[in-house]
Amino acid sequence: MLRDPAQPPPPGRSAAPLVAVGVLLLALLTGGSAQARRLVYTIEPGDTLSELAVRFHISVDAIRSWNRAYFEKHSVLKVGRRIGLRVDSATARSYGQEHPQARPRSLSYQVLPGDTLWHIARRFQVSTTQLKAWNPRVDPRGLRPGTRLVIRSAVPVRGRRRRCERVRPGDTLTKISRRAGASRSALRKFNNLRRGAILSVGRQLCFYQRLPAQESRAIGKPQSGRLADGEQLRDGPGWHVKRPHSAHGSNELLSLVYRCLGRVQRRFGRRLAPLVVGDLSRKTGGALGGHVSHQNGTDIDLGYYYRRGEQVPQDRFISRPDRIDLNSTFALLRCLIDSGEVQYTFMDKGIQRALYRHARKRKLYPRADLELVFEHGPTGRRSLANAIIRHVDNHRDHLHVRIFCPQKDVTAAKGKPGRCIPSPGRRRPVGD
């Protein structure tokens, strides 16, 4: 028997079930739009429709229907383009609020010899169009050294240091540029060199580097040393420093970290939760609470990469080995190790095996090189003679990177107190 909906429910019965059914039917009929939120998503390298559908709990057909104008012009996703998505409130919050990126700030950048608009845009992770809009009076085709550009970016700005390299017997411009870390075009422009110019032995070639004006000095051992004029690592797009007061290191360590974190961020972009950066050293080095090493600015603790939406706190490391994003974590390791500056990386053996299998399966690294890099592979532990990545207990939630002593700190005071002392090879290295 049908009852008039205007009449109250019979005694002893509650109206709550009827209300719940009504809300459910409304949600089904409207496709959940009552709780849906529109999200503007920027397409990143490697994105596919199926991957986006799984990540945001929607269907491929729904993405196409919401972006008909886009897919009428393009058959595939193009990096940098924006599409609209309709997701539930919880997913929208986890994407845009739980992991806030470092906020862009207004910067003043001085153009150096060899700079181009493209290189500057790439360095600060902005577009050339944005640079032109912020600097309408600057001719992009005729950038002059010394010109000041206004840039809005979250990328940290380092100082400006003049450096000179003396030409050695057998040197070429390519060899000098690799040794000095400067581009050939910068060396040519700053020193008025023509293409094919003969370099005379003993001549000094000078250039500017993006480094603090005062050089850092790593002194003593990682386990019993100190740091002079250490440089502080700052938050950037894609990473967060959890304890800024203990985030000082040598210029060489920070150059490597900025380069590799920036490279991973450009490649994988907003699909990742911000990486948590742990301790380096105190401003003047010396003993650091909770660590055996981290005393002379050559050590750094880095969290593992996780996908955006994962609950990753910004003030501590988390241990979820099964949730680590292997693609980006291996890309970070490869950048660090290929630099030739890393002496050791301490990591849990279980995570080593997972990364080893991932690299083998996707052919990300030659097998012979993997054998030399990892101490622990699928077949178990191997010799420590050549392994760079080694097992040390209590490294399931982070990896510990140690670079070689900067060459200038080894040779500048050789045989005298105050020089950097490299860590000796040993069967079981001292980690944290």
pLDDT of residue 429: 39
317-330 pLDDT, tens per residue?
Answer: 888 888 899 999 99
41-91 pLDDT, tens digit each: 777 656 788 878 877 888 899 999 999 988 888 888 886 677 888 887 666
pLDDT value at 23 more than 50: no
* Domain 161-209, CATH among 3.10.350.10, 3.40.630.30, 3.10.20.30, 3.40.50.300: 3.10.350.10
pTM for the full predicted model: 0.68
Q: Do domains 105-153 and 161-209 have the same CATH topology?
A: yes
Beta strands in 71-134 (DSSP E): 82-88, 105-110
Q: What CA–CA distance (Å, rounded) separates 6 from 371?
A: 76
CA 362 from centroid of its chain's CA atoms: 21
Could you tell me if 395 and 303 are in contact, meaning their C-beta atoms sit under 8 angstroms apart? no
31-96 to CATH, choices 3.20.20.220, 3.40.50.300, 3.40.50.1000, 3.10.350.10: 3.10.350.10
CATH of domain 217-411: 3.30.1380.10
Class of domain 105-153: alpha beta
Q: How far apart are CA 33 and CA 38, in angstroms?
A: 10
Task: Name residue 277's beta-bridge partners.
Answer: 241, 302
Kindly state the average pLDDT of the residues 1-21.
Answer: 43
The domain limits of the chain are 31-96, 105-153, 161-209, 217-411
Distances (CA, A) of 113 to 182, 199, 212: 10, 19, 18
